[in-house]
Chains A and B, each alone.
Chain A
Amino acid sequence: ETGVTQTPRHLVMGMTNKKSLKCEQHLGHNAMYWYKQSAKKPLELMFVYSLEERVENNSVPSRFSPECPNSSHLFLHLHTLQPEDSALYLCASSQERRGEQYFGPGTRLTVT
């Protein structure tokens, strides 16, 4: 595997389900990010981790819970989501914070 990978690529979940999105970077980077892309809206930064510490939480509802167990892996745990949370969730990484960011292919999430 090279670059940034994300699984699953597609996810359909009910509002009472709990699921997790996974991101893995194979670039040796120290910073990782979660973004949300909704239809007809700019990409929105959700969370930033630098050296495994959360350094940014962009007023994201608590039903989204990030986890960064090491510098290569990032998770987004989802529970009791709303239909308006349906979106493309993108993971990115960079060598250092404020560096050039590289994105994964995204997880397309549908909440029913």
Chain B
Amino acid sequence: GIQVEQSPPDLILQEGANSTLRCNFSDSVNNLQWFHQNPWGQLINLFYIPSGTKQNGRLSATTVATERYSLLYISSSQTTDSGVYFCAAYNTDKLIFGTGTRLQVFP
């Protein structure tokens, strides 16, 4: 089945810094989602982005399906951005999750 890999596994930032999280997938995908898991375990939808670029406030995402990767950009990071960021890709019928990037933002 499809493999979804995320990098880096851990990221520590000071408030105000920018960051780029990467998601690589091993096969063609039907769609791709980015989630933020907060410290209480809730998975919050960030982007549904099978291809192209989307922006939502300080966050934006780009998926290049032909090259099998997606990027999540976080600008001017805040302490509330801390948590784990997951990408997940659909291959046939299943949404396959990566192992996540754990982000810690310090004031």
Contacts and interface: CB of A to CB of B under 8 A. Distances in A.
Interface of A: 37, 42-43, 45, 48, 55-56, 88, 90, 92, 97-98, 100-103, 105-106, 108
Nearest to B50: A100
**What secondary structure prevails in chain B residues at the interface with A?**
strand
Contact count band on B:
20 to 34
A106 B30 contact: no
Given A42-B97, A42-B98, A102 B45 contact: yes
A43 B97 contact: yes
B95 A101 contact: yes
B42 interface: yes
**What secondary structure prevails in chain A residues at the interface with B?**
strand
A105 B42 contact: yes
A92 to B, nearest CB: 8
Given A42-B97, A43-B86, A106 B42 contact: yes
